[in-house]
A and B are shown apart, each in its own frame.
Chain A
């Protein structure tokens, strides 16, 4: 037992230390400086070990502190009209404890550490569980104790109850875990906290609504009832602990747990490929009468219609409904006309962010890679400069079509709204709105396809291996997000957008034509 304790903690720590070192190595600047043998460098290892210990400490206490603080914040600022704070606190804590008992079991979370320990290193599953799960439960109790105690005066909870509460929380966790074990014995199916069924999700949603919703209408579970339940959780916990200790089939439970999920990156990418394979239409009537790359493209688009077009169509429908809704609303409540009109004439920059959110660029390039380029890039003929550029042009046309559909509806919808809400002195506004929204959509199409061709970020295992690609994607997000704050008249911003997008598209295409034959390769 003592040995299991040592090994499992050493394993967990090694895993964490190596993850920290790996993360360091992935950083752009450190990549060049750090040696490839960094996992053996003593200084770095000590540094990572310190981080690991800090992390362990934080995970035990900081999480609990935040949790209690959040409840506290909600009670005092969200429901400031409710006078019995201790009753409210216990009410919320009760429902959240129930949710936590199901969603944060530790035992039924298929983590990599469990896989390494029980399957790769063949540790005794039961001993592993007793040590690690015991430790996790202990962390819950010790983590909560000081904060329950400290918050006691603020919440007006009796001292004895503040000491009992951590044991109650742990108790319910143990009982739910034990129930899952009983269920396993009965049905042979392991509970997986990351894969909840429909009923459990509905149950969790109900708990959330009850925890926050009831107090909103002035109802909370009477303190005497919640206190009784919390006290009851303690003996239930003891019953649960006995079951956990007596249960002998942990290995089988884990086997089932891991067969449901994919703990490793390579398995994840396999799952991604399997998933994308599922999207390939098996409709035998799909054919193409074209030739060469147009033939490849047409078959690709037709057989992946599901993933390529469905989101775009859905967004389009939503936009149509919204536009019609606002038009009807402006007739029913004429007073909103002026505000709407003002918004349309001054809030165009906001639409950069909206267009960013709805554009299908990343989804499209990911589908291109996983289902097409991933395999074809291994063939030398596919990498000939002329071929790469020919296909780039075809794909640009396709992604532009996909993005243009909702853009057209948004552009025309906005122009229509502008018209029905009082119109504008300068009719050019209508054209600028439609054209600039279309330009934004064209910009995102070009942007994502260009960075895909210039930085081709995936390796043969469909993992993203290019830090720069991620940086560009994040930067795109921030720039678009920043646009929310920009206030400029539609005619000026729209014109600037049109000019910028046209220039960007030209420059991007020149860059692709110059560089893509060299950059469009599988990452090694």
Chain B
């Protein structure tokens, strides 16, 4: 993947009846960084993700990649989208799901590994690999979902509250995985947990008043930075 890639959201708007959830959003995301997307409940984080994933049609505006100054449309396989509640095809085994995914994405997967290597990479034990996904635990389903989303190396990875309900070991494994991945794609990570965002993310972006706003850390220490974020979010809630 090109190193100078940027993901640009250009005047994106979305309303539900009279409520303007996304107001003319303009923002540029750069590769090599994990962006922590913070917002109050109902601020529109999931709406933003759904628009970017084209599950929801935006009212106006666009989003695209910019590679070496050249604009390029976003294709479906450019995006990986990991939901907080993992959804996996319950009737397949973990191995079958991976085989199916690799089969149909053969052309777009660079440096293909064996299925077991992928399982090893995600720390899924050999005993679980041939079980039906319906019998997987929540954490294992989450790992499978994440794995399928990163095998094809999408240019942008959207993560909607992905670590909230995982046990500490899996959560730590996933955090490490994301840190390793960030050199290869743009990661936008939505969360409610401020400490997690501060620990994992390189940039903090607030979604407030329907707009995206980067919170500059500059010379603030962690506590002041935290206060600044909370203050900004509080203002949004008082509207």
Contacts and interface: CB of A to CB of B under 8 A. Distances in A.
Tell me which of B18, B79, B81, B103 has the highest count of chain A C-beta atoms within 10 A of its own C-beta. B103
B115 interface: no
A372 B18 CA distance: 35
Contacts of B54: 383, 521
Contacts of B123: none
A3 interface: no
Nearest to B80: A380
Contacts of A299: 91-92, 96
A521 B56 CA distance: 9
B105 A381 contact: yes
B99 interface: yes
A378 B81 contact: yes
B104 A381 contact: yes
B80 A295 contact: no
B100 A384 contact: no
B89 A375 contact: yes
Interface in B44-62: 50, 53-56
Tell me which of A371, A374, A376, A380 has the highest count of chain B C-beta atoms within 10 A of its own C-beta. A380
Contacts of A291: 103
Given A371-B90, A380-B80, A282 B132 contact: yes
Interface string B63-100: 00000000000011111110100011111100010011
Given A376-B89, A524-B56, A384 B103 contact: no
B89 A524 contact: no
Contacts of A304: 91
Interface in A310-343: none
Contacts of A277: 90, 134
A291 B100 CA distance: 7
A378 B83 contact: yes
Contacts of B81: 378-380
Interface stretch (B147-155, B173-181, B197-205, B225-233): B147-155
Contacts of B117: none
Interface in A294-308: 295-296, 299-300, 303-304
A499 B110 CA distance: 49
A522 interface: yes
Contact of A303 (B17, B87, B91): B91
B103 A380 contact: no
A379 B145 CA distance: 9
Interface string A371-402: 11011101111011001000000000000000
Interface residues of B, number: 36
A383 B76 contact: yes
B87 A380 contact: no
A contact patch SS: helix
B16 interface: yes
A381 B152 contact: yes
A393 to B, nearest CB: 14
Contacts of B18: 35-36
A226 B90 CA distance: 57
Given A293-B104, A378-B87, A522-B55, A384 B77 contact: yes
A40 interface: no
Given A379-B148, A384-B76, A280 B91 contact: yes
A292 B104 contact: yes
Nearest to A375: B87
B53 A380 contact: yes
Nearest to A276: B90
A387 B101 CA distance: 12
Nearest to B81: A380
A498 B190 CA distance: 54
Nearest to B75: A384
A381 B105 CA distance: 8
A36 B16 contact: yes
A455 to B, nearest CB: 15
B89 A372 contact: yes
A378 B160 CA distance: 12
B91 A387 contact: no
A292 B100 contact: yes
Interface string B100-143: 11011100000000000000000000000000101000000000
A299 to B, nearest CB: 6
Contacts of A280: 90-91, 132, 134
Given A293-B104, A379-B148, A524-B50, A371 B89 contact: yes
B91 A379 contact: no
A378 B159 CA distance: 12
B77 to A, nearest CB: 6
Contact of B104 (A300, A387, A521, A522): A387
A295 B91 contact: no
Contacts of A379: 81, 148-149
B17 A36 contact: yes
A462 to B, nearest CB: 11
Tell me which of A36, A371, A372, A375 has the highest count of chain B C-beta atoms within 10 A of its own C-beta. A375
Given A35-B17, A292-B103, A381-B105, A374 B77 contact: no
Nearest to B101: A381
A388 to B, nearest CB: 10
Interface in A12-69: 35-36
Nearest to B47: A524
Given A299-B96, A381-B76, A383-B76, A371 B91 contact: yes
A380 B99 contact: no
Nearest to B106: A292
A300 B79 CA distance: 26
A383 B55 CA distance: 10
A280 B81 CA distance: 26
Contacts of A380: 53, 76-81, 154
17 contacts: A36-B19, A280-B132, A292-B100, A295-B99, A296-B89, A303-B91, A375-B88, A378-B87, A379-B149, A380-B53, A380-B76, A380-B78, A381-B77, A381-B105, A521-B55, A524-B50, A524-B55
Given A35-B18, A380-B78, 13 more contacts: A36-B16, A36-B18, A372-B91, A378-B81, A378-B83, A379-B148, A380-B79, A381-B104, A381-B105, A383-B76, A387-B104, A524-B50, A524-B56
Interface of B: 16-19, 50, 53-56, 75-81, 83, 87-92, 96, 99-101, 103-105, 132, 134, 148-149, 152, 154
**Interface pairs A-B: 4 shortest CB-CB:** A375-B87, A292-B103, A384-B76, A380-B76
